[in-house]
Structure 1
Amino acid sequence: MVASFLADHDSVDLTPLADCSTCAYRDSLLAAGTCKPGDRCVVAESGRQIDRFFKVHPGFAPNYANDPFWERRAIAARYLSTNHLRPLLTDPDEAVRRVLAYRIPVDWLLELSQDSDREVRVTVADRLPETQLELMANDPDYLVRTYVAKRLPAGRLFRLVADPDNEVRRTVAERIPSVSLGLMAEDHEVNIRRIVAQRMDVDDLVMMSKDEDWTVRYEVALRAEPELLKQMLDDADEEVSFTARERWEALTMETAHAAD
């Protein structure tokens, strides 16, 4: 293909314009006005023009599934019918495989679950059935594991409570059943322990009432029952002790009124 470029004298934008004299569609599509140089053209190296071409002529997409230009293959993949997609699962360009990750049937997704490209695997983790998600729980990339943690059934999150990444564990702390939060009570990340203190069953809060971080103890004081609050009245942090005393007095008064 011989290519030239047109540019508006008042603009820095260049519009790729293919040489229609050598185009195979010169006497058909061009003559019929269904392709347009600089706007709707499959041979120009312009993603926008290629996409516009396939929107009008989706039936031509299979002709470009093996095109040397990666972007032409990737755009063609958006318009291919399902029965033309499988050969592209091993396409050398990640942009093509990213399109496939969105389009292929669910029962093909595991074939891309170990793809070298993170974005491909993220899409797979976002689409896989819940029954297969655990197969990606050991993915080397934290973002993929975060997607797994967001979608796994809450009762199956145990294997991720000690994940090396804070974002993954934070997601687990927000979703794991409250009765299991004790497994994360000693997490090394303060923000995660705060989430644990906010969600943990009230009867289990005692295990966090001596946490080294005052903000965690503060969360405990906001939810604790009178017996535990009484133990926190002399907390080393003024905010925690004030909150514990204020709630202890209020709960004690409520109990007294209820007894009258």
Structure 2
Amino acid sequence: MSAHMAEEPDTVIEALDWQGRPLRCQDCPHEDIHAEGRCDLGKVCVADRRRKRIDRFFSQNAALAARYLDHPYFEVRALAAKHASVFLLTPLKDDPEPDVRVVAAARLPVARVKEMRFDTEPRVRIAVAERLEGSDLVALLADGDYQVRIAAARRAPPDALVYLMHDPETDVRRVVARRLPQAQLARMTSDDDPLVRVVVAEHLDPDRLAPLVADPDMRVRFVVAERIDPRFLPPLTEDSVPPVAEVARQRLASS
């Protein structure tokens, strides 16, 4: 089960292990650190089933993380992986739980995570995309999950983004429009979605905005009126939407 357990307020002291059994300090191998105040039943405990309590334990006892990288409870493995030496994390690339593999993808050296581009879990592929650079990201631009494509598009070489100019997902195309070189970006002025065209209008050079002067969406025209080269402003001074026309008139008067 990969979904995180719901957290209850710390004022409620309920200490159960990951199999639902009550916890007792007497059964714990860490009585020494309990005496030092570095764990606290119901609040800071590696044996607890609640993520926040486990995380607090490793935050205060990072040196113990290596002992728990093969724990049967995936939350313990994932949180231990956040604190353990990176030299111990390679086996976690093949962990059965995505939460654990995500941590491995985020922490291992980049050269070690390239092969994880093809992991079955989108969250893992996103974590990899956020680490890779250059041509290593190209394969992820064609990923079947749009969130992976977004992560890859944010870091891929701008020239490679032409492959995503016609992506079926609006959010992907918006990321592309923020990063495309000007020559390719000009081709997106006819995008079907006005939210994409707004981004195009925000990033296209002022002297390239003429194709958007008569855009059917007033949000696009408003951005155009704010940014377009003054030579192309006259049609916008008669726009049917008063705020658009007003911006155009003010800019034309001050140009």
Q: Could you tell me how far 1:248 is from its partner in structure 2?
A: 9.0
- Please, which of 125, 133, 136 is the counterpart of residue 132 of structure 1? 136
Kept after mapping to 2: 8 A contact 1:115/1:121: yes
- Please, which of 242, 246, 250 is the counterpart of residue 253 of structure 2? 250
Distance (whole Å) between structure 1 residues aligned to residue 12 and residue 83 of structure 2: 32
- Please, which of 108, 124, 128 is the counterpart of residue 104 of structure 1? 108
Distance (whole Å) between structure 1 residues aligned to residue 93 and residue 245 of structure 2: 61
Name the structure 2 match of 1:15: 15
Deviates more, 1:74-83 or 1:160-169: 74-83
Kept after mapping to 2: 8 A contact 1:214/1:240: no
Distance (whole Å) between structure 2 residues aligned to residue 178 and residue 163 of structure 1: 18
- 1:119 and 2:123 matched: yes
Q: Could you tell me how far 1:31 is from its partner in structure 2?
A: 7.7
What amino acid is the match of 2:122? R
What amino acid is the match of 1:246? R
Q: Please list every run of 5 or more consecutive structure 1 residues that lacks an aligned counterpart in the other structure.
A: 1-10, 255-260
Q: Could you tell me how far 1:183 is from its partner in structure 2?
A: 1.3
Name the structure 1 match of 2:88: 84
Kept after mapping to 2: 8 A contact 1:179/1:200: no
Q: Please list every run of 5 or more consecutive structure 2 residues that lacks an aligned counterpart in the other structure.
A: 1-10, 17-21
Q: Could you tell me how far 1:107 is from its partner in structure 2?
A: 1.1
Q: Could you tell me how far 1:77 is from its partner in structure 2?
A: 1.6
What amino acid is the match of 1:160? L
| Overall identity of the aligned pairs, in % | 34
Q: Could you tell me how far 1:91 is from its partner in structure 2?
A: 0.9
- 1:156 and 2:160 matched: yes
Q: RCO higher in 1 or 2 (8 Å CA, sep ≥ 6)?
A: 2
Q: How many residues align?
A: 239
Distance (whole Å) between structure 1 residues aligned to residue 135 and residue 58 of structure 2: 36
Structure 1 residues 19 and 179 mapped into 2: Cα distance closer, same or farther (>3 Å)? same
What amino acid is the match of 2:220? V
TM normalised by structure 2 equals: 0.74
What amino acid is the match of 2:14? L
**1:152 alignment partner, SS class:** coil
Structure 1 residues 105 and 224 mapped into 2: Cα distance closer, same or farther (>3 Å)? same
Name the structure 1 match of 2:216: 212
TM normalised by structure 1 equals: 0.73
Deviates more, 1:111-120 or 1:185-194: 111-120
Distance (whole Å) between structure 2 residues aligned to residue 148 and residue 120 of structure 1: 13
Name the structure 2 match of 1:199: 203
Distance (whole Å) between structure 2 residues aligned to residue 42 and residue 146 of structure 1: 36
**2:209 alignment partner, SS class:** helix
Per-residue CA distance 1:2-48 (angstroms, 9 max, x = gap)? xxxxxxxxx6442346335554556x666888765445544343444
Structure 1 residues 66 and 192 mapped into 2: Cα distance closer, same or farther (>3 Å)? same
What amino acid is the match of 2:249? E
- 1:173 and 2:186 matched: no
What amino acid is the match of 1:15? A
- Greater Rg, structure 1 or structure 2? 1
